Amino acid sequence: MEKILRTANRESLSVDNQLTDSKNLPAPPFSLPKFPSLNLTNLVKGVSVQCMLDGQKILTGIQQSKPWALSMIDAIAKPPAGILNGVFTWLGDYDECLDIKADSFQGKYCREQLYLAQFTNPLTSQKGASLNAGICVPSTCSSDDILNLLKSVVPQLSNNTVFPYSGSCEETDQNYDTRAIIVLVILSNFAIVITLATIYDVVIRMMEKRQKKNPKGGIINIAYVSSEGKETGADYKPKEEEPDVSVDVGLDANETSAYKPGIVGKAWLSFSVYTNIEKILGTKQGAGTLTAINGIRFISMSWVILGHTFAFGLGQMDNAAQVYTTFIKRKSFMAIINAEVSVDSFFALR
pLDDT number for residue 94: 94
Largest Cα–Cα distance in the chain? Answer: 138
Task: Give the chain's length.
Answer: 350
Nearest CA to 198 out of 280, 278, 268 is that of 268
Q: DSSP assignment, residue 316?
A: G
pLDDT number for residue 242: 55
User: Do the Cβ atoms of 322 and 296 come closer than 8 Å?
Assistant: no
User: Do the Cβ atoms of 302 and 345 come closer than 8 Å?
Assistant: no
pLDDT number for residue 170: 85
Give the C-alpha separation, 126 to 119, whole Å.
8
Q: For residues 101, 105, 107 and 112, what is the CA-based torsion angle, rounded to 10 degrees?
A: -170
pLDDT number for residue 236: 57
* Other CB atoms within 10 A of residue 141 CB: 23
End-to-end CA distance of the chain: 83
- Per-run averaged pLDDT (10 residues), the chain, 350 residues: 43 39 40 47 74 92 93 93 83 94 92 92 84 93 92 89 92 82 96 95 87 62 52 57 52 58 88 91 82 86 89 75 82 87 79
SS3 92: coil
Phi-psi region of 197 (alpha: psi -120 to 50; beta: other; left: phi over 0): alpha
- Residue 177 CA, distance from chain mean position: 23
User: Do the Cβ atoms of 149 and 55 come closer than 8 Å?
Assistant: yes
| Beta strands at 162-169 and 107-120: parallel, antiparallel or unpaired | antiparallel
pLDDT number for residue 211: 76
Give the C-alpha separation, 147 to 151, whole Å.
6
pLDDT number for residue 23: 39
Give the C-alpha separation, 96 to 71, whole Å.
7
What's the Cα-to-Cα distance from 87 to each of 95, 318, 327, 334, rounded to whole Å? 22, 5, 17, 23
Give the C-alpha separation, 70 to 76, whole Å.
10
Domains of the chain, by residue range, sit at 36-169, 179-227+237-280, 291-349
List the beta strands (DSSP E) in the chain: 89-90, 107-120, 127-138, 162-169, 219-226, 239-248
Beta bridge partners of 168: 111
What's the Cα-to-Cα distance from 263 to each of 234, 260, 267, rounded to whole Å? 67, 10, 6
Q: For residues 7, 13, 16 and 21, what is the CA-based torsion angle, rounded to 10 degrees?
A: -120
pLDDT number for residue 77: 93
> What's the chain's Rg over C-alpha atoms?
39
The sign of the torsion formed by the CA atoms of 57, 63, 67, 73 equals positive
